[in-house]
Amino acid sequence: MSLEILPVTGLPEIDTDSDLAGLIAKAGVRGGGAFEDGDILVVTSKIVSKAEGRVLGATDREAAIDAETVRVVARRGSTRIVENRNGLVMAAAGVDASNTAPGTVLLLPEDPDASARALRARLQQLTGRRLAVVVSDTFGRPWRNGLTDVAIGAAGLRVLEDHRGRTDSHGNELAMTVTATADELAAAADLVKGKTTGTPVAVVRGPATHVTVEDGPGARALVRPAADDMFRLGTSEAVREAVTLRRTVRSFTAEPVDPAAVRRAVAAAVTAPAPHHTTPWRFVLVESAGTRQRLLDAMLDAWRRDLAELDGWDEQKIARRTARGEVLRGAPYLVVPCMVTDGSHAYPDARRAAAEREMFVVAAGAGVQNLLVALAGEGYGSAWVSSTMFCRDVVRQVLGLPEGWDAMGAVAVGRAAEPPVARAPRGVEAYVLER
**Residue 421 belongs to a domain with what CATH number?**
3.40.109.10
Q: Please give the backbone phi and psi of residue 405, each rounded to the nearest 5 degrees, phi first.
A: -90, 115
Q: What percent of the chain has pLDDT over 90?
A: 65
Amino acid 44: pLDDT: 96
Which whole number is the average pLDDT over 355-382?
A: 93
Q: Is residue 208 part of a domain?
A: yes
Question: Could you tell me if 174 and 269 lie in one domain?
Answer: no
Task: Specify if 76 maps to a domain.
Answer: no
Q: Which residues pair with 148 in a beta bridge?
A: 139
Residue that finishes a domain, picked among 195, 228, 261:
228
| DSSP H helices in 139-233 | 181-193
One domain, residues 198 and 267: no
Count up the domains in the chain and report the number.
2
In a domain, 115, yes or no: yes
Q: Is the pLDDT of residue 116 over 90?
A: yes
CATH number at residue 212: 3.30.1330.100
> In the prediction, which pLDDT does 248 show?
86
| Chain CA centroid to CA 302, Å | 45
Most confidently predicted of 157-166, 333-342, 386-395? 333-342
Of the pLDDT bands very low, low, confident and very high (cuts 50, 70, 90), residue 351 is: very high
From 177, 203, 228, the end of a domain falls on: 228
Q: Please report which confidence band the pLDDT of residue 303 belongs to, taking 50, 70 and 90 as the band edges.
A: confident
pLDDT value, residue 411:
96
* 426 neighbors 355 (Cβ within 8 angstroms): no
Q: Tell me which residue range forms the domain holding 268.
A: 235-431
Is residue 8 assigned to a domain? yes
- Whether 266 and 374 map to the same domain: the answer is yes
CA distance 433 to 392: 37
The top-scoring range by mean pLDDT among 103-112, 225-234, 300-309 is: 103-112
Nearest to 7 by CA among 22, 20, 24: 24
pLDDT of residue 392: 95
Give SS3 for 212.
Answer: coil
Share of the chain above pLDDT 70, in %: 97
* Cα 213 to Cα 38, 92, 121, 168, 342, distances in angstroms: 10, 35, 11, 29, 74
Does 264 lie in the same domain as 125? no
**Residue 94 resides in a domain:** no
- Specify the pLDDT at position 372: 94
CB 325 within 8 A of CB 385: yes
Give domain status of residue 9, yes or no. Answer: yes
Give the per-residue pLDDT at 175. Answer: 67
Quick check: is 313 in a domain?
yes
Cβ atoms of 193 and 28 within 8 Å: the answer is no
Q: What is the CA radius of gyration of the chain?
A: 31
* Mean pLDDT, residues 373-379: 88
Instruction: Give the confidence band of 417 by pLDDT, cuts at 50, 70, 90.
Output: very high
Residues 373 and 398 grouped into a single domain:
yes
The whole-angstrom separation of Cα 299 and Cα 312 is 18
Residue count (the chain) = 435
89 and 81 in contact (C-beta within 8 Å)? yes
Residue 366 lies in a domain: yes
Residue 257 sits in the same domain as residue 205: no
Q: What pLDDT, on the 0 to 100 scale, is given for residue 108?
A: 96
**427 shares a domain with 324:** yes
Whether residue 408 sits in one domain with residue 262: yes
Which is higher by pLDDT, 285 or 140?
Answer: 285
Say if residue 284 is in the same domain as residue 313.
Answer: yes
pLDDT at 229: 82
Query: Mean pLDDT over all residues of the chain?
Result: 90
In this structure, are 332 and 385 located in the same domain?
Answer: yes
d(CA 353, CA 371): 28
Predicted pLDDT at 314: 86
Q: Give CA–CA dist 47/23, Å, rounded.
A: 11
Average pLDDT of the segment spanning 379-403: 93
Read off the pLDDT band of 98 (50, 70, 90): confident
Q: Looking at the predicted structure, is the pLDDT value of residue 35 above 70?
A: yes
Last residue of a domain, one of 198, 228, 258: 228
Which residue type is seen at 42? V
Do β-strands 410-414 and 333-339 pair in parallel, antiparallel, or remain unpaired?
A: antiparallel
Query: Has residue 236 got a pLDDT over 90?
Result: no
- Residue bearing the bigger pLDDT, 326 or 219: 219
Residues 251 and 315 in one domain: yes
325 and 408 both lie in a single domain? yes
In sequence order, what DSSP letters do the residues of 284-314 get, joined into one string?
EEE--HHHHHHHHHHHHHHHHHHHHHTS---
Pairing mode of beta strands 201-205, 4-7: antiparallel
